[in-house]
Amino acid sequence: MALNCGIVGLPNVGKSTIFSAVTSAPAEAANYPFCTIDPNVGIVSVPDSRLDRIVQLIPPAKVIPATVEFVDIAGLVKGASQGEGLGNRFLASIREVGVIAHVVRCFDNPDIIHVNNRIDPAGDIETIDIELALADLETVEKRYDKISRLARVDKEQQKENAFVIPILERLKEALGDGRSARSVVSDEDEVKAISDLHLITMKPVIYVCNVDEDSIGSENDYVKTVRAIAGREGSEVVVICGKIESEIAALESEEERKEFLQAVGLEESGLDNLIRSAYSTLGLRTFFTAGSDEDRAWTFHEGDKAPRCAGIIHTDFEKGFIRAEVYNCEDLFEYGSELKVREAGKLRLEGKDYVVRDGDIMHFRFNV
C-alpha cells in the first residue's frame, strides 16, 4: 500500500480548500470544475499529544513529529471512467494513493456551483463509486480475458488460475453493479492474489463531510446521510468545515489557533482528526526516540519487529541490531522520568522478535 492519502470528490465540494488548510500550503481553488488538473502534494505533520507530553518530560533541543502525505486530486465527474473531464488522468492519480479521503459537500450555498445543480450527498457518493467501479471493471475484465485464454491452452496455467478466476468472476459481477472490490474480497489470500491489479475500489475510504459554519457542533441531515452510507461500508467519517479550517490555518501562532477553536466551540481542528484517521487507516503507527538532542516520532507499519523499526532510523541499526531498550510512553507519563521508569522495572530489553507497539519509546543497540 502506498503511504499517502488522496483527497477526491466531485468538483466544487471543497477538496482544494481542505487540502490547502491541512497542508497550510496554497492549492488552486476556484468556483468552476477542473481547476486542479495535476495533483498537488503536501507533507503533513501528524498531531500527537503524546509527543507534546514527552517533550515536557524529556526536554530536547529539537522536536520532529511524524508525517503523512496528502494528495489533492482534481474533481471526478460522471463519465470519468470513459475519459470525461480528464478522467483518465484523475483515475491514474487515485491508483497511486494508499487511502482515499472522499470529500462530500454537506452544505447549502447558492453562490457555489454544484456540478449536478443539486446538493445530494448520497447521489454524489454514488457517482464517484460508480466511476471508480467502472474503471476497475475494465482492469478486471482485461485480466479475466487474458488468463481465460491462457488456461484453455496451458494445463499448468489452469492450475495456477483455478484460485484466481472465481475471484475475478465475483469482482466482475460486483463492479458491474457499481459495488466496490473490497465489498466482495476481504480474505487475505484473495487480496494477495489480485494485489497486482491495483484496484482503486480495494482502497480504504474515509468520508470527509464538508459542512458550513452553522453545522459546527451538530450534525445536519446531509452528514447523517453520509454516516449511514459509511456505516454500511465500515468506513470512517470526519466532519470538517473547510471555511473555518482555512481560517485557522492562516493564523500564525498555536495560541491564536487555540483561541479561535474555543471561539467557535471546537476542542480541536477537524483537520487534526482527518490527519490521524488517514495515518491510522494506512496501517501506520508511531514509536518515539527521546533525549536531550532530539525528541522524535518515527512512523512504522503495524506488526513491524524491532530490527525493521531500527532500520527506519538508519540501515546500519537494522544490519547490526543487537537489542532494544523499550518502555511505553504511558509508563513515562505515569512515573514522570526515564530514571523512575527504570527504577519501577518498566524498561525492558527486547530482541529481534519483538513486535513494536504504538507509543513505545526505544533506544537501539547495534554493532556494525
| CATH number assigned to the domain covering 303-366 | 3.10.20.30
Is the pLDDT at 79 greater than 60? The verdict is no
With cut-offs at 50, 70 and 90, classify the pLDDT of residue 358: very high
Q: Which of 220-229, 255-264, 353-362 has the lowest mean pLDDT?
A: 255-264
**What are 29-58's pLDDT values in tens digits?**
333 333 334 557 888 889 999 999 999 999
Is the pLDDT at 86 greater than 90? The verdict is no
Burial of 107 (0-12, 13-18, 19+ CB in 10 A): buried
Average pLDDT of every residue of the chain: 86
Would you say domain 4-281 falls under CATH 3.40.50.300?
yes
CATH 3.40.50.300 in the chain: give the residue spans.
Answer: 4-281
Hey, what's the cell of 257? 489557533
**What are 66-75's pLDDT values in tens digits?**
998 888 886 6
Residue type, 191: V
In 38-111 the beta strands, taken as DSSP E runs, fall at 40-45, 62-64, 67-72, 99-105
> Rounded mean pLDDT of 183-212?
92
Tell me if 12 sits within 8 A of 103, measured CB to CB. Answer: no
According to the model, what pLDDT value does residue 42 have? Answer: 84
Q: What's the length of the chain? A: 368
With cut-offs at 50, 70 and 90, classify the pLDDT of residue 82: low
Q: What is the pTM of this model?
A: 0.84
CATH 3.10.20.30 in the chain: give the residue spans.
Answer: 303-366
With cut-offs at 50, 70 and 90, classify the pLDDT of residue 153: low
Higher pLDDT, 190 or 34: 190
